[in-house]
A and B are shown apart, each in its own frame.
Chain A
Amino acid sequence: MTVRVLTYYPGCSLHGMSREYDESTRLVYRALGIDLRELANWTCCGASAGHSLDQGLAIALATRNLELAAAAGNELVAPCAACYQRLKIGEKESSSDVTVLHVLDVLSSPEMLEQLRESVQRPLSGLKIVLYYGCLLVRPPEVTGRADYEDPQSMDQVMAAVEADIRPWSFKTDCCGAGLAVARPDVVRRLSRHLAEMARQAGADCIVTACPLCQANLDTRQDKGGIPVLYFTELLACALGLEGTESWWRRHMVDPVPVLTKAGVI
């Protein structure tokens, strides 16, 4: 298998509260023949605080990382939807030759989907899931370049490739309010609990995300007996039969082990 090398921008959350997303992304990519090289000296993209307070600073914080990335290659992969969108804006606002990609973009190419289908060890057919893309992976389309921003498909394609039982629902891109999580938990609780309730009504065993902020926000606002919220890369690692998944589950607030065991995923 030829090894493809990509530059990786983990972002602050993946070195903090979302290490299982970092570990599962690296593990799955490695299994699929992609070597992720972490961008040396990367710094915070500025997130929503940057553009809320200072437009020039927000752009500068993003483009600084693109300049570093340009020296390392012409593609930069980000797993966090917020980092992805801010870096994408930096790409648009600067003359950078770097193309910013989300972790999903790489995995949803026709070749990678084919490779995923061929690599499945444990099909996820027993697991009923809804896919939650959130806001910044898809919006605004002028920045993300996505045509299917109201009903995105890339995570659907990836999870279908490992045979998950994908339930349709209408809340793929409704906001969970993560940006307000620390200062306005009252607002966030309303938004994220509604999403959890709608996922239940759609018949899902768990919610699957591709963003550390969405995951943390949905996972931490529920009462006992809530619905587990997983990263799509965690489930891919299970489907591909990879070793080293055990330590991830205990870092979830809503324990996913019963659901995953019942569905024959672990």
Chain B
Amino acid sequence: MAGLSDPMVTNRPQLDRIRGVEGLNAELCFSCRKCSAGCPVADEMDLAPHQLVRLAVAGLEGEALHSSGIWLCTSCQTCTTRCPNGVDVAGVIDALKQRAAASGVKPSDGRMLAFHRAFLDDVKARGRVHEMSLTARYALRARRVPEGILLGIGMFRKGKLPVMPPKKTATRELRRLFERGKGK
């Protein structure tokens, strides 16, 4: 965790604090590490869930925003469910992802961020997600051939993936929802 005390990172005035956010209860953490013990991807994270919570409690969100680990979180909710103190660990990680995305932090591995953006692009454009469009949007956003392209071809040949997208649904209404959410 080099650069922990870097004021350029930690004192970003535009960054909302996670400590004290109602419902997340981050400040109740007593570092038992149960969240990280049950996490399916903790081994692959640069900062494990308990470390992310500690940084948030210390007001050092800025450090955690650069973590590639936050983007590996599968949102399985095991950490939140098992926390003995009622800390919403997955909620803290969501809050970190939201802040990282909103403040334009570029993760060292941008694939998951690109996927989430592509997903919401498809929701906004169609109302319902069409798997083939989502994959194409992801490829454009991530600027790469999706790793699962061969699998996708296999699924297509099995007749699992419809070529035609579903009829657009309520897209005008959804555009308004997306605009309203901006800046939150």
Q: State the A residues within 8 Å of B (CB).
A: 12, 15-17, 41-44, 46-57, 60-61, 64, 135-136, 139-141, 149, 174-175, 177-187, 191, 216, 220, 250-253
Give CA–CA (A49, B101) in the complex, Å: 12
Q: Which of chain A's residues have a CB closer than 8 A to the CB of B98?
A: 52-55
Give CA–CA (A53, B127) in the complex, Å: 17
DSSP class of B's interface residues: helix, strand, loop or mixed? helix
Contact B181 A16 (CB under 8 A): no
Q: Which of chain B's residues have a CB closer than 8 A to the CB of A250?
A: 158-159
Answer whether A49 and B44 are a contact pair too, CB < 8 Å, given A43-B169, A140-B81: no
Tell me the minimal C-beta distance from A194 to chain B in angstroms: 9
From A15, A41, A50, contact of B170 by CB (8 A): A41
Contact B97 A53 (CB under 8 A): yes
Answer whether A253 and B184 are a contact pair too, CB < 8 Å, given A61-B177, A187-B72: no
Contact A177 B120 (CB under 8 A): no
Given contacts A48-B116, A216-B160, 20 further A-B contacts (CB under 8 A): A12-B129, A16-B162, A17-B155, A41-B169, A43-B123, A48-B75, A49-B120, A52-B94, A54-B101, A135-B74, A136-B75, A139-B78, A141-B81, A177-B41, A178-B74, A182-B115, A182-B148, A183-B138, A183-B142, A184-B72
Interface string of B102-141 (1 = CB under 8 A from A): 0000000001101111011001000111110011001000
B9 within 8 A of partner (CB): no
Q: Which of chain A's residues have a CB closer than 8 A to the CB of B129?
A: 12, 16, 44, 47
B40 within 8 A of partner (CB): yes
Give CA–CA (A48, B130) in the complex, Å: 16
Give CA–CA (A56, B182) in the complex, Å: 9
From B138, B147, B148, B161, contact of A17 by CB (8 A): B161
Answer whether A64 and B128 are a contact pair too, CB < 8 Å, given A52-B116, A253-B154: no
7 chain-A/chain-B pairs, Cβ below 8 angstroms? A42-B128, A43-B127, A55-B98, A61-B174, A135-B76, A136-B76, A180-B112
Give CA–CA (A48, B178) in the complex, Å: 16
B146 within 8 A of partner (CB): yes
Interface string of B63-85 (1 = CB under 8 A from A): 00000000010111110110000
Give CA–CA (A65, B102) in the complex, Å: 26
Q: Which of chain B's residues have a CB closer than 8 A to the CB of A64?
A: 170, 173-174, 177
Tell me the minimal C-beta distance from B79 to chain A in angstroms: 9
Contact A177 B142 (CB under 8 A): no
Tell me the minimal C-beta distance from B178 to chain A in angstroms: 7
Tell me the minimal C-beta distance from A67 to chain B in angstroms: 11
Contact B81 A53 (CB under 8 A): no
Q: Which of chain B's residues have a CB closer than 8 A to the CB of A136?
A: 75-77
Tell me the minimal C-beta distance from A57 to chain B in angstroms: 4
Contact A51 B76 (CB under 8 A): no
Which chain B residues (4-22) contact chain A, with CB distance < 8 Å?
none
Give CA–CA (A24, B147) in the complex, Å: 31
Tell me the minimal C-beta distance from A233 to chain B in angstroms: 17
Give CA–CA (A55, B183) in the complex, Å: 11
Contact B44 A53 (CB under 8 A): no
Give CA–CA (A139, B77) in the complex, Å: 6
Q: Which of chain A's residues have a CB closer than 8 A to the CB of B75?
A: 48, 51-52, 135-136, 179
Q: Which of chain B's residues have a CB closer than 8 A to the CB of A57?
A: 120, 177-178, 181, 184
Q: Which of chain A's residues have a CB closer than 8 A to the CB of B80?
A: 139-140
Contact B128 A12 (CB under 8 A): yes
Contact B158 A180 (CB under 8 A): no
Contact B40 A54 (CB under 8 A): no
Give CA–CA (A64, B181) in the complex, Å: 14
Contact A61 B123 (CB under 8 A): yes
Answer whether A50 and B74 are a contact pair too, CB < 8 Å, given A16-B130, A182-B135, A183-B112: no
Contact B74 A175 (CB under 8 A): yes
Residue of B nearest to A17 (CB): B160
Contact B44 A60 (CB under 8 A): no
Contact B40 A174 (CB under 8 A): yes
Give CA–CA (A64, B177) in the complex, Å: 9
Contact B41 A187 (CB under 8 A): yes
